[in-house]
């Protein structure tokens, strides 16, 4: 407390924070994978209006969209072990990282299922009819005709949601994960120079976010090119 702001410390903290970057990336990537798989399943429940499952999916998505990430994180952290204990699985000794990945994955699933649903709905119904009329089955129609087209539409939004996930990981440190934020907090606690450490973390998030955004724009441009060539 009361120590002056030291500009040089930011650069001293940066390498230390970067050494924990892989945890942040691990959370984001594994949550995206879980989110995509579960999101597709949820979206299909709602699209094909499967009774009960469709309503459950709606409630699940509404809950995930309507409550803050941090509340969900703690509910999974405190609640999941007791729920799983009922069916006889003891996960109390699990690493905290798994809880974080599960929470972010579950959360991402809700948001991604909405993106996927919207993109599937945006494919013209005539495409499905045409596929049926040439004798394709439902599964063939979906996997060969509808899915590839909707993927192109969903891609930009999935990129945005990936970036949002990256920013959300900044909350994982609240349950004691040593990712970039957790490391920044630890540095702050030992040196009393919290603000420098947090600014260094902000720089990492900013640079990483900007790079990813640029990457997504590149992918989008390629996809755009593909879309045009499909039409020709």
Which long-range CB contacts under 8 A does 197-203 form with residues at least 24 apart? Answer: 197/9, 197/13, 197/17, 199/10, 200/10, 200/11, 200/13, 200/14, 200/17, 201/17, 201/170, 203/10, 203/14
Beta carbons within 10 angstroms of residue 17's beta carbon: 23
Rule CB under 8 A: choose which of 100, 101, 102, 171 binds another protein: 171
CA 175 to chain centre: 18
201 in contact with another protein (CB under 8 A): yes
| Interface region with another protein, contact rule CB under 8 A, candidates 3-11, 48-56, 105-113, 144-152 | 3-11
Rounded to the nearest whole angstrom, what is the least distance from the CB of residue 4 to another protein in the complex?
A: 7
Instruction: Record the tokens describing residue 184, joined without a space.
Output: 């920044």
DSSP 146: I
194 in contact with another protein (CB under 8 A): yes
| Interface region with another protein, contact rule CB under 8 A, candidates 103-111, 119-127, 150-158, 191-199 | 191-199
| Interface region with another protein, contact rule CB under 8 A, candidates 112-120, 124-132, 133-141, 187-195 | 187-195
Say how many residues touch another protein, by CB under 8 A.
Answer: 38
87 in contact with another protein (CB under 8 A): no
Answer yes or no: are the C-beta atoms of 150 and 116 closer than 8 Å. yes
Answer yes or no: are the C-beta atoms of 156 and 220 closer than 8 Å. yes
Applying the rule CB under 8 A, the residues between 21 and 80 that interact with another protein are 62-63, 65-72, 74-75, 78-79
Instruction: Record the tokens describing residue 101, joined without a space.
Output: 């990945």
Applying the rule CB under 8 A, the residues between 100 and 159 that interact with another protein are none
Answer yes or no: are the C-beta atoms of 24 and 169 closer than 8 Å. yes
Rule CB under 8 A: choose which of 2, 15, 126, 135 binds another protein: 2
Site residues (CB under 8 A) for another protein? 1-5, 62-63, 65-72, 74-75, 78-79, 82, 167-168, 170-171, 174, 181, 188, 193-195, 198-199, 201-202, 205-206, 209-210
């Amino acid at each position: 407390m009361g120590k002056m702001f030291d500009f040089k410390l930011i650069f001293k903290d940066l390498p230390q924070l970067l050494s924990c970057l892989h945890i942040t990336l691990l959370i984001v990537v594994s949550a995206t994978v879980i989110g995509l798989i579960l999101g597709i399943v949820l979206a299909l429940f709602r699209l094909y209006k499967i009774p009960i499952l469709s309503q459950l999916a709606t409630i699940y998505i509404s809950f995930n969209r309507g409550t803050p990430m941090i509340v969900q994180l703690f509910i999974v952290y405190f609640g999941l072990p007791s729920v799983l204990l009922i069916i006889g699985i003891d996960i109390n000794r699990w690493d905290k990282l798994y809880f974080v990945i599960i929470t972010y994955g579950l959360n991402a699933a809700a948001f991604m299922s909405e993106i996927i649903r919207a993109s599937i709905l945006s494919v013209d119904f005539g495409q499905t009819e045409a596929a049926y009329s040439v004798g394709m089955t439902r599964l063939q129609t979906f996997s060969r005709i509808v899915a590839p087209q909707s993927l192109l539409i969903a891609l930009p939004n999935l990129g945005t949601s990936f970036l949002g996930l990256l920013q959300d990981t900044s909350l994982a440190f609240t349950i004691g994960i040593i990712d970039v934020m957790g490391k920044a907090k630890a540095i702050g606690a030992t040196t009393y120079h919290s603000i420098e450490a947090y600014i260094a973390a902000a720089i990492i998030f900013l640079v990483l976010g900007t790079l990813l955004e640029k990457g997504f724009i590149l992918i989008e441009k390629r996809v755009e090119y593909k879309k045009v060539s499909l039409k020709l």
